[in-house]
Chains A and B, each alone.
Chain A
Amino acid sequence: GAVVSQHPSWVICKSGTSVKIECRSLDFQATTMFWYRQFPKQSLMLMATSNEGSKATYEQGVEKDKFLINHASLTLSTLTVTSAHPEDSSFYICSAMGPNTGELFFGEGSRLTVL
């Protein structure tokens, strides 16, 4: 099946620094990828829809200047958490729609801890 790879899986950073998370579709092209945030014991909350070659669409309440999304190619979307603060600590997961059935494939997730 289609594979979505996310990197890094773990990142610890100091408050005020920026962190970039990559999401790659390894064996298919993904014109649209999705970014989610998941707090402990909670559901996945859609942050934004990443469209190749155009600006991302952000969900209400998500700061676009805080969470920069770039989808420069059909296989790569990046999420940059700018000037990270402890409250940004969370599990971030990306997903992409598979090539055939429309099934959504998820990346492994990236656990961000901001000290």
Chain B
Amino acid sequence: GENVEQHPSTLSVQEGDSAVIKCTYSDSASNYFPWYKQELGKRPQLIIDIRSNVGEKKDQRIAVTLNKTAKHFSLHITETQPEDSAVYFCAAASNAGNMLTFGGGTRLMVKP
């Protein structure tokens, strides 16, 4: 089955700096890669996703890049703000929304 590794497990940045979280996956059949933000005790919220026919996608301060050959994808957050502090999960699936396999999560702390 799919195996998703996520790094780092914790990340502390200064407000205004950029944050990068990386994930690798094992199943070459995976073609859907969402990123979720989860605040303490709350449900995960989709913040951005990318499909395997695209190499990069951007939405304001958030971007995701995908390298199918190397089987890794990354989340980039620019101009970080304290409200970006949360746990971020990457995931991979062979079809959108189907049987997502999650990474271990990254706890992002943005210091004001």
Contacts and interface: CB of A to CB of B under 8 A. Distances in A.
A93 B34 CA distance: 17
B43 A101 contact: no
Contacts of B95: 102
Contacts of A54: none
Contacts of A44: 44, 89, 102
A43 B104 contact: yes
A44 B101 CA distance: 9
Interface residues of B, number: 22
A76 interface: no
B89 A98 contact: no
B54 interface: no
Q: Majority SS of interface residues in chain A?
A: strand
B37 to A, nearest CB: 11
Contact of A42 (B32, B41, B98, B105): B105
A33 to B, nearest CB: 11
A93 B100 contact: no
Nearest to A111: B41
B97 interface: yes
A93 B97 contact: no
B20 to A, nearest CB: 19
Interface of A: 32, 34, 41-46, 49, 91, 93, 97-98, 101-104, 106-109, 111
Interface of B: 32, 34, 41-46, 49, 89, 95-105, 107
